[in-house]
Amino acid sequence: MNIAKIKTFTAIIVPMTLVLALFLPVYASAAPLVPCNGTTEPCTFVKIIELVKNIIKFLVFSLAVPLAAISFAIAGVMILTAGGNTGQVEKAKEIFWNVLIGLIVALSAWLIVNAILLGLGAQKGLGVFN
């Protein structure tokens, strides 16, 4: 790996890590991922489906979407601060496309898992607001 790729990687990963470190506890404390505790409430098949639903919702809507927004912002700043440097503009465009493809893959996976969970008997699927 050459030095330029390491610098670009560091310039992208460090801000994302800082933002996640600041805001991830807020997302994680909003709703528990595990729906049963095993002592007062038995873990049934319905609770396992709810656990899968909670994990997928957390990964897609609490991690993937904010990371995509941050990546889009970083790429936009890279374009704005390029100052005629075509190499930096090309890197920013590559980041835009990679993030867009990754977001489409993540949302497609969410859609597929939602369909599977509905087929297995989940009440509301992976609705974002339920």
The answer for 27, left when phi > 0, alpha when psi is -120 to 50, beta otherwise, is alpha
The answer for 24, left when phi > 0, alpha when psi is -120 to 50, beta otherwise, is alpha
**Residue 34, pLDDT score:** 73
List per-block mean pLDDT (blocks of 10 residues) for the chain, which spans 130 residues.
64 68 59 70 77 81 86 90 89 92 90 80 59
**Residue 90, pLDDT score:** 93
Helices 86-120/45-57 angle, 10° precision:
170
Sign of the dihedral defined by the CA atoms of residues 72, 75, 79, 80, in that order: positive
Does pTM top 0.75 for this prediction?
Answer: no
